[in-house]
Structure 1
């Protein structure tokens, strides 16, 4: 912006900018602002503008009338702080390039802030709108996780309670198992004790018209142990353990006392040892036809009978020669095996 040096008659400014309106006095060449003169602006290149004189030059000019003796008032060339005329516009400070730059910067900054604020609001609105479904899903997910966590804690609590109950049941079951095992042993003992007077005759052929009491007495005569009627309390055939078994049903003899039972067993063993070629058989007991061996053993309880059968199988596997029963218990005698091929 062009700046020229100027002599002012209305103020103390030493320079003037082109944007300010002023007029030059044709007499003293001083410049005056229209604003300070409180007169309407006069257009440049006009006759009034070219002939204009400042108030100081007008007052200093001699009067043409001789009758006027009023002295001329001296107007100072420099103008001090003058009170503005009534209804005159306020005095404006000069505008510089720095002021313009500052104003422009403030305007740009304000506009930029407004645009940034609008952009932020728009972005926040868009982001909020886009994130709303995700926010809802996260809330639902959080609720689901809370529900799952609650259920998991309930299941964990139930599992701990079930584990504790299971441990208690295990202890009870173990105790019951021991109790049942002990009771089975006692029951087996009692069953065997209830058979302490009994004998069992195995493999004797059955006859529709047989008399078991006569058969038992005949056996006593054969083995050399005569039995009286009061020694035999009861005689009967018992059912087979398996219907597929082809062996005849066994005969159970209930005797008066264990002493009589032991005497008969000892007599049978002695007879078989004395007659190894003609051991006790069906012919000795009054059955005609094919001679079949007859066995006289203790009457065992079901558990002891199963144990005796298992002992006999194991004796064959291990090479034992004899398996016998003594007072309800199985006994084994090992056999010496010689290799016949050496």
Structure 2
């Protein structure tokens, strides 16, 4: 009888401990399950936030691209009356208005000093370059600018062996230096034009414009 009672007490104690262990395990399981559900909910919320942020980022990116495009167009529009004359040697006593008028005389372009609003040298992009600073000419209207530009193009086309150069400006040199008259492009358009010229050379195109 005593043995049976002892066994019963041992079994009862073991059962009690086992039940307590199961209870603790269940409590832990419920705790981790609750944490898992919280993490799952948080992940869904974070995923939603990320999607919203990605959408907002795309909208902002599109807005920046649009503003950049508008800014580039405005920059180019503000240069509509300008022309850039490149490779003209610099002199301390130079008169740039006279230089422009001499080009007009050479190319038979009917433009006078009153058609010129402003004329100056502009800073080099590369200070290490040996080329002289370009001359920026601002005409009173885009039509006058186009007339001047067209005259230089026509002159070079009609004189392929004697294109516009320093000798036409009365600048003495061992060998005449060719002068280039180009549109005054915005930095963005200038970079695009340079990239197009490089690609044109790679593809062996004769002309790029």
Whether these two folds match at TM > 0.5 is yes
Q: Tell me the CA shift for residue 272 of structure 1.
A: 0.9
Q: Tell me the CA shift for residue 137 of structure 1.
A: 8.9
Q: Equivalent residue for 2:135?
A: 251
Q: Larger relative contact order (C-alpha < 8 A, sep ≥ 6)?
A: 2
Cα 1:276/1:260, change in 2 over 3 Å: same
Does the Cα contact within 8 Å between 2:111 and 2:148 map onto a contact in 1? Answer: no
Q: Equivalent residue for 2:198?
A: 313
Residue 292 of structure 1 pairs with residue 170 of structure 2: no
Cα 1:156/1:271, change in 2 over 3 Å: same
Output the CA distance in 1 between the equivalents of 2:170 and 2:26: 96
Cα 1:288/1:199, change in 2 over 3 Å: same
Output the CA distance in 2 between the equivalents of 1:292 and 1:314: 27
**SS in structure 2 at match of 1:230:** helix
Following superposition of structure 1 onto structure 2, how do residues 1-342 of structure 1 map, counting pairs within 5 Å?
A: 114-115=1-2, 117-124=4-11, 127=14, 131=17, 135=20, 139=24, 141-289=25-173, 290-324=175-209
Q: Tell me the CA shift for residue 261 of structure 1.
A: 1.0
**SS in structure 2 at match of 1:201:** strand
Structure 1: unaligned runs, 5 residues or longer: 1-113, 325-342
Higher-Rg member (1/2): 1
TM-score, L = length of structure 2: 0.86
Q: Which moves more between the two structures, 246-255 or 117-126?
A: 117-126
TM-score, L = length of structure 1: 0.55
Q: Tell me the CA shift for residue 138 of structure 1.
A: 6.7
Output the CA distance in 2 between the equivalents of 1:174 and 1:229: 51
Cα 1:250/1:137, change in 2 over 3 Å: farther
Number of equivalences? 208
Output the CA distance in 1 between the equivalents of 2:49 and 2:9: 63
Output the CA distance in 2 between the equivalents of 1:313 and 1:177: 29
**SS in structure 2 at match of 1:234:** strand
Output the CA distance in 1 between the equivalents of 2:202 and 2:100: 35
Q: Equivalent residue for 1:39?
A: none
Q: Tell me the CA shift for residue 124 of structure 1.
A: 2.1
Cα 1:276/1:159, change in 2 over 3 Å: same
Cα 1:246/1:142, change in 2 over 3 Å: farther
**SS in structure 2 at match of 1:218:** helix
Cα 1:146/1:203, change in 2 over 3 Å: farther
Higher helix share: 2
Cα 1:268/1:198, change in 2 over 3 Å: same
Structure 2: unaligned runs, 5 residues or longer: none
